[in-house]
Amino acid sequence: MNPADSHGFTDPGAMTDVVFQRCIDPRCGATVDLSDTSFACPACGGLLDVAYDWNRLPVPTSFKHFEAKWANRTDPLDFSGVWRFRDLFPFAPADKIMTIGEGQTLCQRADAVAAYVGMKPGNLYLQYEGMNPSGSFKDNGMTAAFTHARMVGARRAACASTGNTSASLAIYCAATSLMRAVIFIGSGRISYGKLSQALDYGALTVQIAGDFDDALRRVQEVRRQLGIYLVNSVNPFRLEGQKTIMFRVLEALRWEVPDWIVVPGGNLGNVSSFGKAFSELKELGLIDRAPQLAVVNAAGANTFHQLYDRHGLRWNAGEFDRPKLAAYMTAMDAGDLRADTLASAIEINRPVNLPKALRALERCGGVVREATDTEILDAKARVGSGGLGCEPASAASVAGLLKLVKEGVIAPSDRVVCILTGHELKDPDATVAYHSSDPAAFEAKLGKRGVKRVAFANRAVQVPNDLNEIVKAIELYA
Ligand code: F0G
Query: Of the residues 162, 172, 216, which should be mutated to test ligand 1's pocket, given the most ligand atoms within 8 Å of the CB?
Result: 162
What 3-state class would DSSP assign to 151?
Answer: helix
Tell me how far apart the alpha carbons of residues 463 and 472 are, in angstroms, rounded to a whole number: 9
Query: Of the residues 127, 136, 394, which should be mutated to test ligand 1's pocket, given the most ligand atoms within 8 Å of the CB?
Result: 136
Buried b / exposed e over 137-165, threshold 16 CB at 10 Å, is bbbbbbbbbbbbbbbbebebbbbbbbbbb
* Closest C-alpha residue for ligand 1 atom 7: 345
Please identify, by atom number, the ligand 1 atom nearest to the C-alpha of residue 164.
Answer: 20
Tell me how far apart the alpha carbons of residues 339 and 50 are, in angstroms, rounded to a whole number: 30
Q: What pLDDT shows up at residue 188?
A: 83
| CB-CB contact of 158 with 222 (8 Å) | yes
Q: What pLDDT shows up at residue 12?
A: 38
DSSP β-ladder status, 106-109 and 48-52: unpaired
Q: What pLDDT shows up at residue 339?
A: 95
Q: How far is the CA of 14 from the centre of ligand 1 (A)?
A: 31
Q: How far is the CA of 277 from the centre of ligand 1 (A)?
A: 18
Q: Is the dihedral of CA 242, 365, 306, 261 positive or negative?
A: negative
| CB-CB contact of 143 with 324 (8 Å) | no
Tell me how far apart the alpha carbons of residues 265 and 350 are, in angstroms, rounded to a whole number: 11
Q: What pLDDT shows up at residue 1?
A: 38
What 3-state class would DSSP assign to 251?
Answer: helix
**At how many degrees (to 10) do helices 354-364 and 269-283 cross?**
40
Q: What pLDDT shows up at residue 15?
A: 54
Q: What pLDDT shows up at residue 70?
A: 87
Please identify, by atom number, the ligand 1 atom nearest to the C-alpha of residue 162.
Answer: 19
Tell me how far apart the alpha carbons of residues 393 and 221 are, in angstroms, rounded to a whole number: 28
* Integer CA distances (angstroms), 356 to 28, 216, 318, in order: 15, 18, 10
Tell me how far apart the alpha carbons of residues 168 and 180 are, in angstroms, rounded to a whole number: 13
What 3-state class would DSSP assign to 49?
Answer: strand
Q: What pLDDT shows up at residue 435?
A: 97
What 3-state class would DSSP assign to 124?
Answer: strand
Q: Which distant-in-sequence residues (6+ apart) come within 8 Å of 191 by Cβ?
A: 163, 344, 391, 426, 427, 429, 430
Q: Is the CB of 266 under 6 A from ligand 1?
A: yes
Q: How far is the CA of 164 from the centre of ligand 1 (A)?
A: 7
Q: Is the CB of 294 under 6 A from ligand 1?
A: no
Sheet of 180-186, strand order: 204-208, 180-186, 156-161, 229-230
Q: Is the CB of 344 under 6 A from ligand 1?
A: no
Q: What pLDDT shows up at residue 16?
A: 67
Tell me how far apart the alpha carbons of residues 227 and 245 are, in angstroms, rounded to a whole number: 30
Q: What pLDDT shows up at residue 73?
A: 87
* Closest C-alpha residue for ligand 1 atom 20: 164
Pairs from 81-85 (Cβ < 8 Å, separation ≥ 24) = 81/105, 81/140, 81/244, 81/248, 82/139, 82/140, 82/143, 82/144, 82/241, 82/244, 83/143, 85/243, 85/244, 85/247
Q: Is the CB of 210 under 6 A from ligand 1?
A: no
Q: How far is the CA of 141 from the centre of ligand 1 (A)?
A: 11
Q: How far is the CA of 409 from the centre of ligand 1 (A)?
A: 25
* Residues pairing with 206 in the sheet: 184
Q: How far is the CA of 10 from the centre of ligand 1 (A)?
A: 31
Strands annotated E in 53-139: 106-109, 124-128
Q: Is the CB of 164 under 6 A from ligand 1?
A: yes
Please identify, by atom number, the ligand 1 atom nearest to the C-alpha of residue 391.
Answer: 3
Q: Is the CB of 270 under 6 A from ligand 1?
A: yes
Tell me how far apart the alpha carbons of residues 445 and 9 are, in angstroms, rounded to a whole number: 48
Q: Is the CB of 161 under 6 A from ligand 1?
A: yes
Outline where 365-415 has alpha helix (H): 373-385, 392-407
Please identify, by atom number, the ligand 1 atom nearest to the C-alpha of residue 266.
Answer: 14
Q: How far is CA 127 from the centre of its chain?
A: 12
Outline where 386-463 has alpha helix (H): 392-407, 428-435, 439-445
Residues of the chain under the 70 pLDDT cut: 1-16
Q: Is the CB of 99 under 6 A from ligand 1?
A: no
